A and B are shown apart, each in its own frame.
Chain A
Amino acid sequence: MTSTPDRNSLTAECGSATDPAVPALALRSITKSFGDFIALDDVDFDLRQGEVHSLLGENGAGKSSLMNVAAGLYAADRGTIEVAGRPAAIRGPSDAQALHIGMVHQHYKLVMPFTAVENILLANPSGGFEQSLQHTRQLISEKADLVGFDVDLDKPVGALSIAEQQRVEILKVLVAGANIIILDEPTAVLTDEEGQRLLEAIRKLASSGCCVALVTHKLHESLTHSDRITVMRNGKVVETVLPDRVTAPDLTTMIVGETLVENRHQTTVSGKQRLAVRGINAARADGLATLNDLSFDVRSGEIYGIAGVGGNGQSELVEVLMGLLSPSGGDIQLDGQGDITGTRADERRRFGVACIPADRQGFALAGDLSVSDNFSIGGVLSGKFGSWARLDRKSMARETRSAVEKYDVQGVRSDAQRSALLSGGNAQKLVIAREFSGSPTVVIAHSPNRGLDVRASAAVHGHLLSARDQGAAVVLISEDLDEILLLADRIGVMNSGTIVAEFGAPADRHAIGKAMVGHG
């Protein structure tokens, strides 16, 4: 412990004391394993004062583990940490805080019913309650001005948007006096525009003398918004490079170890109309109208992409399409079945409608049940694995094994393994394996690449494309515009609960972006 905590000083600006030649934070030969799994293997990483340093890699490459070592959440098995050139022992988050290291995690550590001030006060107590409430409020507004944040301090944090909650988290570490700031996948949950604003704020932080470690798997933002890029793969550092000396394909090669470029796949073949959605109106359980006169149609053999900023009714649209939410007006026509508006979810599944929901662990899988149970549940309902009185576990296991192989679901040690143990990408592949096992005629996919790395999302996209090529009508609802542009044959833009514009592929990115944010 060489540095003294100085969190309440109003004048403490970022990195005032360090010599620019010495790295503000240096991790040397860090090794960390969990059981047999080696998460970090002799990793070196350093952060200089005033820089934004991206840490790039696939899910499970060890980026977050490395940063958790710096933040005191994981104890390294071997290796040393230096802060401003002096050896530092970080035994827990409080040691890290005393060394002015602050980390914003992917999952926010906020108490939702509390206001921003209360949340920040909780982590940074200073004397009596009433005075510290005032004091904290003052500190927050100073830090917020520094980075250009605008946050409502008196609303419960739970009522704020994800982007605002993230700002509260960042302000929390700044108020705590951090000048070494670690952001774990900060843009993963933000829209393009919000992400851009965050990256600008990060730049402001760095120019005020802080150093920022930006953990990400987005090539684009590390190329345009960082001073140095360190690429990790399989728990090792591949290389540290300067962004103006590399290209995106170079980085992709470093990340996955081989060249992996997804090309646009389009089809000119389109069959007859398979799904028609006409004038749907719907309201959420709390009465808020979310879908307003929404119409679109999808032909067989095409991917219809629905782009839009999150929270414009996408989740409700998925629920309406799957029969989980009944619309207050409008109807859904399915080729060969007629009007299916009033049918239940299980009936729609029998008609050949498959769904890949956005929240896979919440809606698509039962985490505590086995891989085999999760895969077979659809077939069990349709009586494929025996009558109600008998369950043919043998054929369930057999079909699961072949599906796991066919869809390349990795990390399945046995078909009795709990599905919660699968990583995001493999869980998604399992969902797809199940949903596609009945050869669906309509596929509804909501943000299918959310939280997935390059390789896994390429695999998921491949499955969607092959479903299309086999004649399914695919509805792809995604907040990731790149995903839409890559896959969709036609694009509808969703805004305030309705489709405000439609584009044929190849579409103009800027025109779509305009339609996404327009209309008030």
Chain B
Amino acid sequence: MEFLVNWLANIPGFALPFALGALGLIICEKSGVLNLGAEGFLLIGAMAGAGAVLTFGGYPLLALAMAALASALLSLVFAVLVILLRVNQVISGLTIVFLAQGLTSLIALKQGWTNKAFTGLSSLDLGPLSDIPFIGPIVFSQDLIVYLTVGLFFLAVHLMGRTNAGLRLRAVGENPDAADAAGINVTAYRFVAVLIGALLLGLAGGYLTVVVSKIWVDGLTGGRGWIAIALVIFARWRIWRALGGAVLFGCIEALIPRVAAIGVQVPQYFVLMTPYVVTFAVMVWTSLSSNTASDEPGALGRPFVREERH
């Protein structure tokens, strides 16, 4: 019982970076921009978050905001490349990852942020609510960002499905020529979508350092950005399914240390490999179950050029 409560209470913290990351990717990709730079945006966010806490000496919420902003700043480069200059989106995304890997290591080293532990954001204590047995630790003892993320998902679902802006964003990703003919500024919608997506990815990255690890080391994100990309494919670009997938991965990640703690011998590298094996299995399963309706944007990865004669 104790094991179960402990495990369940830890799931949201593990699931959150995947959830926020996948949500950011869906918003970006619904506009038709394929974002393979997720890992890079997570890294920048993670480093900026750690750096901000160390620099300001605390203020974890401010640090998380800085994390999101840093990622958004990097996404401007990406947006200019793929939207204005119409560079290949796959290559641009990969470039962002490698750029971020080098950049974060360099800045953290120069600033002396590497391997320095700090006190980040702690869980909320909602008094009597948190003391309710079973439910208390699982539902009422999470940190602020967990509750914020749940709200963000509801907001995103509403914006995408039940507003004019959402309708236009989906039209831009589905058929930019039709959207353009309808008088929608395709370029502007894509820019904003990339920016919002990067804000969420940056927040997810910041969460990894400011809330989870409370320390920065090079390459801290450990491939979570790639998993988020796989999650989006698994979820077929549907927001609630992405949240479900993120929770599933959270379950697995939260289980690993606990299994080790109760003395079950599992090889370390097998443990580290597990999320990727699951990603692999999930993607195979997704492509085999072809009858599932997909919300994949029709113009994903395709740059928009206004039709001219020849």
Interface residue ranges, A against B (CB under 8 Å): 34, 39, 93-94, 97, 105, 108-114, 118-119, 121-123, 125, 128-130, 132, 421
Contacts and interface: CB of A to CB of B under 8 A. Distances in A.
B103 interface: no
B181 A123 contact: yes
A112 B298 contact: yes
Interface stretch (B19-27, B171-179, B223-231): B171-179
27 contacts: A34-B309, A34-B310, A39-B309, A97-B183, A109-B178, A109-B181, A110-B175, A111-B171, A111-B174, A111-B175, A112-B175, A112-B298, A113-B174, A113-B295, A113-B298, A114-B170, A114-B174, A118-B167, A119-B178, A121-B164, A122-B168, A122-B184, A125-B164, A128-B164, A129-B163, A130-B162, A421-B310
Contacts of B170: 111, 114
Contacts of A121: 164, 167
Nearest to B181: A109
Nearest to B295: A113
A473 B97 CA distance: 59
B261 interface: no
A119 B36 CA distance: 30
Contacts of A421: 310
Nearest to A172: B182
A446 to B, nearest CB: 26
A109 B175 contact: yes
B156 to A, nearest CB: 15
Nearest to B178: A109
Nearest to A71: B181
Interface of B: 162-164, 167-168, 170-171, 174-175, 177-179, 181-184, 295, 298, 309-310
A118 B163 CA distance: 11
Contact of B178 (A94, A111, A132): A111
A421 B309 CA distance: 11
A111 B179 contact: yes
A113 B177 CA distance: 15
Given A123-B181, A130-B162, A112 B167 contact: no
Contacts of B168: 122
Nearest to B175: A111
B174 A112 contact: yes
Contacts, number: 55
Nearest to B293: A113
Given A109-B178, A110-B175, 15 more contacts: A39-B309, A94-B183, A110-B178, A111-B170, A111-B174, A112-B174, A112-B175, A114-B174, A119-B178, A122-B171, A122-B179, A123-B183, A129-B167, A130-B162, A421-B310
A128 B164 CA distance: 7
A81 B308 CA distance: 22
Given A34-B309, A111-B171, A93 B181 contact: yes
Contacts of B295: 113
A255 B106 CA distance: 70
A425 to B, nearest CB: 16
A108 B179 CA distance: 12
Given A94-B183, A122-B179, A421-B310, A129 B164 contact: yes
Nearest to A119: B178
Nearest to B180: A109
A513 B184 CA distance: 44
Contacts of B182: 109, 122-123
A287 to B, nearest CB: 11
A113 B172 CA distance: 12
Nearest to B310: A421
Contact of B164 (A108, A110, A113, A132): A132
Contacts of A105: 181
Contacts of A123: 181-183
Nearest 3 CB-CB pairs, A to B?
Answer: A123-B182, A109-B181, A109-B178
Contacts of A125: 164
A246 B183 CA distance: 41
B297 to A, nearest CB: 9
A38 to B, nearest CB: 13
A307 B162 CA distance: 46
A34 B309 CA distance: 8
A270 B309 CA distance: 47
B4 to A, nearest CB: 42
B174 A93 contact: no
Contacts of A39: 309
B261 to A, nearest CB: 47
Nearest to B168: A122
B308 to A, nearest CB: 9
A34 B307 CA distance: 14
Nearest to B161: A129
A91 to B, nearest CB: 13
A449 B295 CA distance: 36
A93 B307 CA distance: 13
A348 B175 CA distance: 39
Contacts of A113: 174, 295, 298
B305 to A, nearest CB: 14
A121 B164 CA distance: 9
A110 B175 CA distance: 7
A456 B171 CA distance: 37
A121 B183 CA distance: 12
Contacts of B298: 112-113
A296 B163 CA distance: 55
A504 B166 CA distance: 58
B177 A109 contact: yes
A132 B165 CA distance: 13
Contacts of A129: 162-164, 167
Most buried by B among A105, A109, A111, A119: A111
Most buried by B among A109, A128, A421: A109
Nearest to B174: A111
Contacts of A97: 183
B93 to A, nearest CB: 24
